[in-house]
Amino acid sequence: MTKVAKQREPESWINRIELTIALVLQVGILIVTVGALVERQWLGAFSGSIVLLLTFAPALIERHLRVPLPVELTLITSVFLYASFALGEARDFYEKIWWWDLALHGVAALTIGIIGFLSIYVFYMTHRIQIAAGWIATITFALAVSLGTIWEIFEFLMDWNFGLNMQKSGLVDTMTDLMINAAGAAIAAVIGYFYVHGNDGLYGRRIIRAVIDRQAKT
């Protein structure tokens, strides 16, 4: 067995474990959605269906747009959506745990920022673009903040049109979420900046190497 094969064999097991965890979380979302449907909670069932579909977004993007994505993205997406819907909404964690909403927004901003960084870094490493580390960090920050802002607009539209309470305390909740989003985006940008200069971090290096390898095969 070659050295490369020995290195990738553990990675394949890690990927299988990550996909298994993601599948378990998807099943959990499905169970909550079916439960809402049985109890005739139509809005909850509809929301659950949308959330369940979103867990498959990375796979759909990869298949139809032929964009290689790390397995970790599927896992992170499933974890976030499960925590947001199955725990936050269905189990009332948003009401029971005061910091639940803030934590999810922070993790989401950090995750989106890292994903944005990975997307840019793949093109940077394959020499498809020439860009300074500062610009990579800037684009990473802007992407995460923009998507976080779009989510806040979505919450407002849902509250306005369907009488929901996604914004909780209104302006205070929105501004707090935006600040948390900005903080998470800034952390992701800083991580990306120093990664470009230092190129260290074992787990991050494994993810990026996997993405670059899959990009080379397409």
Higher pLDDT, 70 or 46: 46
In this structure, what are the phi and psi dihedrals at residue 169, rounded to the nearest 5 degrees?
Answer: -90, 20
Per-domain residue ranges for the chain? 1-97, 98-218
Token output for 33:
């959605």
pLDDT tier, 214 (very low <50, low <70, confident <90, very high otherwise): low
Most confident region among 17-21, 119-123, 208-212 by mean pLDDT: 17-21
Cα 181–192–139 angle (5° rounding)? 60
Q: What is the pLDDT of residue 5?
A: 45
Q: What is the pLDDT of residue 163?
A: 66
**Per-residue H/E/C for 27-77:** HHHHHHHHHHHHCCCHHHHHHHHHHHHHHCHHHHHHHHHCCCCCHHHHHHH
pLDDT tier, 213 (very low <50, low <70, confident <90, very high otherwise): low
Q: What is the pLDDT of residue 199?
A: 57
Q: What would the DSSP string read from start to end of 108-162? A: HHHHHHHHHHHHHHHHHHTTS----HHHHHHHHHHHHHHHHHHHHHHHHHHHHHH
pLDDT tier, 7 (very low <50, low <70, confident <90, very high otherwise): very low
- Average pLDDT rounded to a whole number, residues 19-23: 94
Tell me what the pLDDT averaged over the chain comes to.
80
Residue with tokens 């397995």: 71
**How confident is the model over 64-97, as pLDDT tens digits?**
767 667 787 788 889 989 998 899 888 888 888 8
Higher pLDDT, 118 or 54: 54
Whether the model pTM is above 0.85: no
pLDDT tier, 162 (very low <50, low <70, confident <90, very high otherwise): low
Distance (Å, rounded) from C-alpha 119 to C-alpha 140?
A: 9
